[in-house]
Amino acid sequence: MMPVQRFAHYAERIERHDAKLGAFLNLRLTQAEAEARASQVRITRGGRLSAIDGWCIGVKANIAVAGLPHHAGIAAYRDVIAAEDSDVVARLKRAGAVILGSLNMHEGALGATTDNPAFGRTQNPWRHGFTPGGSSGGSGAAVAAGLCDAALGSDTMGSVRIPSAYCGVYGHKPTTGVVSNSGVLALSHTLDHVGPHARHVGDLVALLEAMSGKVMTSNPVDLKALRIGVWDGNGAVGLETAVANGFQAAIAKLELSGATLVPVSPPVYDYGKARRAGLLISEVEGAEIHAARLASNPAGFSDAFRGLLEWGARQPQDKCKAAYDLIAEIHDAASGLFKKVDFVIAPTAPQTAFSFDETAPANQADFTAWANFARLPATAVYTGVSKEGLPLSLQVIGSEGQDAKTLAVAQALQSLFGHAPMPEGF
């Protein structure tokens, strides 16, 4: 589709579907239509700016888009309007992207259900009443439901990859520093990463090139030439049966492809200790980031989120140092693993999407957080659908700085597993 037709297609789909989905919070359709028309003029004249010129993109509500509310899903910031674009949105606009609007998220990015007390729930397109994951739940849901070409999210301990898994799309958490966080209302300066969601791995590549200004294309990989570490938690994580069965089926397909598979576990990675360290860092840094607003408008934070931030503000220095020391140790040890294998695959999340009526499992980020701590690139890859009719996913994790090659492996896996169909009703 040409950009104007593309814009009209997504605007119509948003109008038709988003009332029941709850993915978008704010739309800028007048500006987006003008951007689409400008893109079409460029392309018609042979002046395409990039591979994503004319693509329609949604942006998580913690990433600044000039003229839109910039609140990170926190009621206390509801009236804050971004004066300028974040670095990553500015890069997308310079590449010709059409920005449709801002997307719902878990309050403050500290959680993985996107059941937001101030801005409402985002539904999973695969099953109403189920979470799309989080914290970038609006981003994953919008892409899965076909409301945009792609979406931006942020990933602190898995917040791009978990919604990608629950919603049956692809999502990439870049190597630390590859994509600028400037203009993001952060949760954790240490762990936050801006990353894309899309319905095809090739789209992630084009997006990441525009977002980073770096070449992300790579030669196609031959799975038979790879030594891949298989990380399944060895019973320590508690995989849901559907996830365990789906992961084993994916491994069986990989074996048939000729890849060399080796059981691995990330070194010095104790799930409970790592989870607590990551959450402590997020709560301590989040408390610092939101201190002024928390003092002036405590009612603008939910009881749950406010409690986590207040707990973070009370943590003693020695406890904080121990958490930072642990993630530094996890980072330093990771390079040794990649001397033994080329890439690691693991379940993206230990469970499929679950009902909003259920308590969120404590282990949602046990597989994803390692890449944040170790500063590694990681891509969530759709692998199929469970017997219950919910998407299954694994992640491919590469060594530090190897985003292009990690995405190339993800592309090969997409060819092996196929990509997700559109959820029924969309």
Per-residue pLDDT reduced to its tens digit, 79-106: 999 999 999 999 999 999 999 999 999 9
Residues that are catalytic: 60, 135, 159
The rounded Cα 41 to chain-centroid distance in angstroms is 32
159 in a structural domain: yes
Segments forming the whole domain that contains residue 184: 3-212
The two tokens of residue 247 are: 């992961």
Region 16-44: mean pLDDT is: 99
145 in a structural domain: yes
- What total number of domains does the chain contain? 1
Element (H, E) at 369: helix 369-374
55 in a structural domain: yes
401 burial class (0-12, 13-18, 19+ CB within 10 angstroms)?
Answer: middle
Which residues pair with residue 228 across a beta bridge?
261, 343
The dihedral sign for the CA sequence 173, 176, 181, 184: positive
The two tokens of residue 194 are: 């801006």
Model confidence at 355: pLDDT above 90: yes
Task: Give the orientation angle of helix 403-417 with respect to helix 201-212, to 10 degrees.
Answer: 160
Altogether, the residues listed in the chain come to a count of 426
239 in a structural domain: no
293 in a structural domain: no
- Look at residue 234 in the predicted model and tell me its pLDDT: 87
pLDDT digits (tens, 9 = 90+) for 179-229: 999 999 999 999 999 999 999 999 999 999 999 999 999 999 999 999 999
CATH of the domain at 207: 3.90.1300.10
173 in a structural domain: yes
pLDDT digits (tens, 9 = 90+) for 46-61: 999 999 999 999 999 9
Cβ neighbour number for residue 20 with a 10 Å cutoff: 12
The two tokens of residue 354 are: 């679950």
- Look at residue 361 in the predicted model and tell me its pLDDT: 97
- Look at residue 309 in the predicted model and tell me its pLDDT: 99
Q: Report residue 259's pLDDT band, with 50, 70 and 90 as the boundaries.
A: very high
244 in a structural domain: no
76 in a structural domain: yes
